[in-house]
């Protein structure tokens, strides 16, 4: 009975953590891999990993970076198994195109396409900062970079996006 109660408590804890952060997990995965179907796979695998190692999470207030680190590793594992191919934005698969097709607003559609085309090295810190609310220190830790490198990548990412949006506006 005690074991059963412990299982219920564990499951409840897991459901709550994942319930709160699954949107962040999905969006992070989707912007890492740029493919809806793969993102769903990565999130599913991340949840399995998280469930298995739930006891490693000592403090639930650290659940978000813990889960996002798992997502990052699962994404890397996915592409270790399947060689990452260069994405041509004019020739996307249905699942890749689905990521860009949701936004009815022209500006947002252009911005989403511009973010999609950013190099992985620039796109990931931007996602972590703008969407996940990470500080540059936290991004450096997550990506195993020096803070100076993170600052440079963020600056270049925004400069690129600004340039693309200005070109779009001029058309």
Partner 1 sequence: MNCDDYKQAIGADPSFDGGAGHRSECQSCQEYRRDMQALDLTIGRALALDVPELVMPSLDDVDTGDVVTLKSRRPVAMKTWFSVAATVALAVFIGFRFGPGNISGNVSLADEILAHVTHEPAALQVSSQKVSDDHLNKVVPASIADMDHSAGLITFAETCPISGYDVPHLVIQGEHGPITIMLLPNEKISAAISLNDEKSHGVILPVGDGSIAIVGSRGEKLEDVQKKILQSVKWET
User: Quick check: 144 and 86 in contact, CB under 8 A?
Assistant: no
**Binding to partner 1, residues 5-64 (CB under 8 A):** 11-12, 14-16, 18-24, 26-27, 30-31, 36-38, 40-41, 44-45, 47-49, 51-52, 61, 64
- Among 73, 117, 138, 152, interactor with partner 1 by CB under 8 A: 152
- CA–CA separation, 24 and 74 (whole Å): 15
Question: Measured between alpha carbons, how far is residue 129 from residues 44, 82, 150 in Å?
Answer: 24, 28, 10
- Among 55, 59, 81, 91, interactor with partner 1 by CB under 8 A: 81
How many other C-beta atoms lie within 10 A of the C-beta of residue 118? 20
Contacts of 3 (CB under 8 A, 6+ apart): none
Which residue ranges make up the site for partner 1 (CB under 8 A)?
11-12, 14-16, 18-24, 26-27, 30-31, 36-38, 40-41, 44-45, 47-49, 51-52, 61, 64, 78, 81-82, 93-94, 99, 102-103, 107-108, 111-112, 115, 126-127, 129-131, 133, 136, 150-152, 154-156, 158-159, 161-162, 165
């Amino acid at each position: 009975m005690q074991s059963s109660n412990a299982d219920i408590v564990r499951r409840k804890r897991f459901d709550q953590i994942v319930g709160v952060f699954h949107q962040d997990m999905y969006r992070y995965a989707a912007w890492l891999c740029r493919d809806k179907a793969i993102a769903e796979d990565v999130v599913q695998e991340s949840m399995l990993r998280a469930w298995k190692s739930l006891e490693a999470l000592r403090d639930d207030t650290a659940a978000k970076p813990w889960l996002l680190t798992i997502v990052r590793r699962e994404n890397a594992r996915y592409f270790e198994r399947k060689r990452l191919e260069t994405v041509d934005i004019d020739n996307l698969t249905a699942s890749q195109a689905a990521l860009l097709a949701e936004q009815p607003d022209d500006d947002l559609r252009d911005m989403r396409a511009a973010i999609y085309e950013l190099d992985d090295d620039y796109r990931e810190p931007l996602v972590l900062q703008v969407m996940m609310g990470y500080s540059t220190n936290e991004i450096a830790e997550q990506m195993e970079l020096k803070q100076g490198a993170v600052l440079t990548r963020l600056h270049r990412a925004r400069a690129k996006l600004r340039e693309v949006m200005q070109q779009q506006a001029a058309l």
